[in-house]
Amino acid sequence: MIILNTFNSEPTQDGDGVKISRIADFTGKYFDPYLMFDELKSDQKSDFMGGFPAHPHRGIETFTYMIKGSFEHQDQLGNKATITPGNVQWMSTGYGVVHSEMPMVDEDESMHGFQIWLNMPAKDKLRPARYQDSTRLPVLTNETGASLKLLAGHWTFGGNTDSSPLTGLAANGAIADMTLDNNAKAELDLSGAEQVLVYVHTGSFISPRLNTGQMAIVDSQQAMSITASQHGAGALILVGNRINEKIAHMGPFVMNTEKELRQAITDYQLGKFGEIA
């Protein structure tokens, strides 16, 4: 397993003062087709109770995954759902979406979840929005104490192959949550993807050396081999193919040119995205 580069998540805030850790690149140089990776992890209610009031998007896909705590999603398309622990939601915004995400806490008032932004190819950026969530996610295991929850896409692990109910992500995107017991090992062949990212959200790896809050870009053409520390580990694995297109970014909009960005802002201001009922 060859690590090409590593990045550390940085603390920031978004929405109504929600404290998160973020890794982002809107140049397309490093993570393409992924743009931004946000982790919300706190047992302090004040860190996240403001939530994410209604706001727009165009030209991206958002993927939300909750480990602990829940968020209620609403959008102008009429979708309303609670993303509960262990479950996911995918929104391909295309032409435009207005949505809100507000927290619903567990009894211990803690929260741990992720929102990931994927870029969309230029040909799809103005198509109608798509939405899907899921409460049925397959889990593959191996014999050494490792499991792989299939959040999106197709996966092979431990000699078995299965798919998440969510398979339509841009650029053949696929996302999984790997959990390793103490000193457990895992191997994956991801050579069919152009981009492979690994983000450690719990514990650490002793091989390769990666700690909580670190993202690694991995050589997809080399077999991925991971060994957890004596305290175990959890990591999200993100794969996909590079879009290799110019990126123009402003806040919640990601297009290919500055002109397209200005049009997105104008369309939103004119009410063309609609509003949450």
> Taking 90 as the threshold, does the pLDDT of residue 207 lie above it?
yes
| pLDDT in the model for residue 125 | 98
Mean per-residue pLDDT, 225-247: 97
Task: Say how far apart CA 116 and CA 90 lie, in whole Å.
Answer: 10
Where do the structural domains in the chain lie, given as residue ranges?
A: 3-240
Write the pLDDT tens digit of every residue in 157-170: 999 999 999 999 99
Percent of the chain beyond pLDDT 70? 99
Write the pLDDT tens digit of every residue in 97-124: 999 999 987 666 799 999 999 999 999 9
Give me the chain's average pLDDT, please. 96
Strands 224-240 and 185-188: antiparallel
> Taking 70 as the threshold, does the pLDDT of residue 245 lie above it?
yes
Q: How many CB atoms lie within 10 A of CB 91?
A: 22
Measuring CA to CA, which residue among 150, 168, 151 is closest to residue 115?
151
Prediction pTM value: 0.96
The DSSP annotation for 196-264 comes to: EEEEEEEEEEEETEEETTEEEEE-TTS-EEEEEEEEEEEEEEEEE-------EEETTEEESSHHHHHHH
| pLDDT in the model for residue 106 | 63
Looking at domain 3-240, its CATH class is mainly beta
| pLDDT in the model for residue 107 | 61
> Taking 90 as the threshold, does the pLDDT of residue 256 lie above it?
yes
Task: Say how far apart CA 68 and CA 41 lie, in whole Å.
Answer: 9
More confident residue, 1 or 218: 218
φ, ψ dihedrals at 262, nearest 5°: -60, -35
| pLDDT in the model for residue 232 | 97
Write the pLDDT tens digit of every residue in 268-277: 999 999 999 7
Measuring CA to CA, which residue among 152, 114, 111, 116 is closest to residue 24?
116
Residue 231's pLDDT band (cuts 50, 70, 90): very high
Mean per-residue pLDDT, 170-186: 97
